[in-house]
Amino acid sequence: GENVEQHPSTLSVQEGDSAVIKCTYSDSASNYFPWYKQELGKRPQLIIDIRSNVGEKKDQRIAVTLNKTAKHFSLHITETQPEDSAVYFCAASDGGGADGLTFGKGTHLIIQP
């Protein structure tokens, strides 16, 4: 089955700086890669996703890059703000009959004022 590794587990950045979170996956059949933000005690909320036919996608301060050859994808947050503090999860799906997402272990992003 799919295995998703996520690094770092904790990331502390100064407000206004950029944050980068990296994930690798094992199943070359995976073709869908969402990122979820989870605040304490809340539901995971989709912030951006990318499909295997695209190398990069951007939405305002958030961008995701995908390297299918290397089987890794990254989340980039620019001009970080205090409200960006949360746990971020990457996930992958093989798009097969299962469609269940395999999640990474999460990155606790801390924005220092």
Partner 1 sequence: EPEVTQTPSHQVTQMGQEVILRCVPISNHLYFYWYRQILGQKVEFLVSFYNNEISEKSEIFDDQFSVERPDGSNFTLKIRSTKLEDSAMYFCASSATSGGGKTQYFGPGTRLLVL
Q: Is residue 8 within the footprint of partner 1 (CB under 8 A)?
A: no
| Total interface residues for partner 1 by CB under 8 A | 27
Among 23, 101, 109, 111, binds partner 1 (CB under 8 A): 101
CA distance 73 to 68: 8
Pair 102, 95: CB distance under 8 Å: no
Nearer to partner 1, 14 or 42 (CB): 42
Among 60, 69, 97, 113, binds partner 1 (CB under 8 A): 97
Token code pair at residue 13: 């950045």
Non-local (6+) Cβ contacts of 60 within 8 A are none
Which residue, 57 or 78, has its beta carbon nearer to partner 1?
57
